[in-house]
Structure 1
Amino acid sequence: MKHLDDTDERLLALLQTDAQMSAAAMSKILNLSASQISRRRQRLEDDGYITATVCKLDAAKLGLSVQAFIQVQTDAHTKETHSTFLRLVKTRREITGAWTMTGDADYLLRIYCADLTALNRFTQDVLLPHPSIGRVHSQIVMEQLKDAEALPV
């Protein structure tokens, strides 16, 4: 990977704040021409620094009022257990984030549901009966203080 200069880092920080910001608007902030901004952005995409441009949605407006983190401990640590669990993660829309972990939990899931009843149904009907899962521990988000999607560039 090529080294990022200060302007590249500032451009990436701006794009994480608003990926739809025009090159003209960014050029005023970064003191570069709009064409220079466009070329830099294209290079950052080509070099793999920018992997996607997405829209961030408001969960509450979509009727998803409950966010939870669920720690999952598997029954066994085999390749089959992992692949079976990975299929579950990829097919359930409620799971919006998933990580393998060190410590007591093997996985950490971020879940969005309409309400507590839906979260309970997901836990009882999907997670607990799954053959790979031995134990789950849920934590419901009371208030999100900071969105951790932007990287510290």
Structure 2
Amino acid sequence: MQNPRISLDETDSRLLAALQRDAHLTAQELGEALNLSPSQAGRRRQRLEAEGLISGYAARLDPARLGLSVQAFIRVQMARHGTETAIAFSRVVETQPEIISAWTLTGEADYLLRVYCEDLGALNRLIHQVLLAQPAVARVESQIVMDQFKPDAPLPV
């Protein structure tokens, strides 16, 4: 079941946009940016958190500075489908820290995985020793990112 859309006014949209740029903004700073008192800005933020629009806060790390020089997208095609197969594959994906996000897809590939690895050898090990080692996996295709010219952007609000 899909979550119902939550209606936002212009101030809510501006607040969410500001927090996506800088989640460290205090109620004082938010209030100044939105032309609200700090208590009004704080209450709005708390309401948006309670309604589930803000699901958490995180720091964006620089993968290159962490020694993660290879970013890739991996398309996975399954040999067979079913609930048990999907659960087993999702457990494998969840245990691999190199896989930072995963999607189920329509079309030829069943899954799309975004990964960060230290080097090509680590990517090769992930593909051959982890993904292709799964009995239900029929095919894996990787695409190595040469350059990310647009960083992960905030959601349009």
TM-score class, shorter-chain normalisation, is: over 0.9
User: Deviations 1:11-46 (Å, cap 9, x if unpaired)?
Assistant: 001111111122222222211111111000000001
Residue 69 of structure 1 aligns with which residue? 73
Match of 1:105 among 105, 109, 112: 109
- What 5-or-longer segments of structure 1 have no aligned partner? none
Matched, 1:31 2:38: no
Moved more, 85-94 or 143-152: 143-152
Other-structure match for 1:21: 25
Aligned to 1:50: 54
Superposition deviation, residue 9 in structure 1:
0.5
What's the % identity of the aligned pairs?
56
- Distance in 1 (alpha carbons) for counterparts of 2:149 and 2:41: 32
Where does residue 87 of structure 1 map in the other structure?
91
Cα distance in 2 between the residues matched to 1:60 and 1:25:
31
Amino acid at match of 2:69: S
| Gaps in structure 2 of 5+ consecutive residues | none
CA distance in 2 between counterparts of 1:104 and 1:147 reads: 27
- More deviation in 142-151 or 125-134? 142-151
Q: For this pair of structures, how many residues does the alignment match?
A: 153
Q: TM-score, normalised by structure 2?
A: 0.93
